[in-house]
């Protein structure tokens, strides 16, 4: 009887470890790809935000003080760099996605 119990324990523990290993591999790949996508999108958004902020600051720095400068600040809202950089980062992400889909289509034709 103890041998039969040991057999059942070994069988069920082996099955549980096999299922755990399969789920672990699948979920870890999804987690890695998700983390990479979020990190890439964050880096793109931050980079574009920095570039647009520096562009606006250079534009404002080149305009002399007076009504033109006040009008320039009235035309550019405070949220403009963040909004434009998020739109550009999303556009880059869509372009990369379309490029990957096109590569997969080409790979399936072979």
Q: Is the dihedral of CA 24, 27, 30, 32 positive or negative?
A: negative
C-alpha span between 48 and 96 (Å, rounded): 16
pLDDT of 72-102, one tens digit each? 777 777 777 777 877 888 888 888 878 877 8
Q: Could you tell me the pLDDT band of residue 52, with boundaries at 50, 70 and 90?
A: confident
Return the SS3 of 5.
helix
C-alpha span between 12 and 104 (Å, rounded): 40
């Amino acid at each position: 009887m103890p041998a039969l119990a040991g057999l059942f324990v070994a069988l069920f523990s082996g099955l549980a470890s096999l299922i755990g290993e399969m789920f672990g591999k699948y979920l870890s790949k999804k987690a890695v790809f998700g983390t990479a996508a979020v990190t890439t999108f964050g880096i793109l958004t931050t980079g574009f935000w920095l570039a647009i902020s520096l562009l606006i600051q250079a534009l404002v720095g080149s305009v002399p003080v007076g009504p033109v400068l006040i009008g320039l600040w009235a035309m550019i809202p405070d949220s403009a760099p963040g909004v434009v950089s998020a739109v550009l980062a999303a556009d880059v992400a869509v372009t990369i996605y379309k490029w990957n889909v096109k590569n997969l289509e080409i790979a399936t034709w072979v």
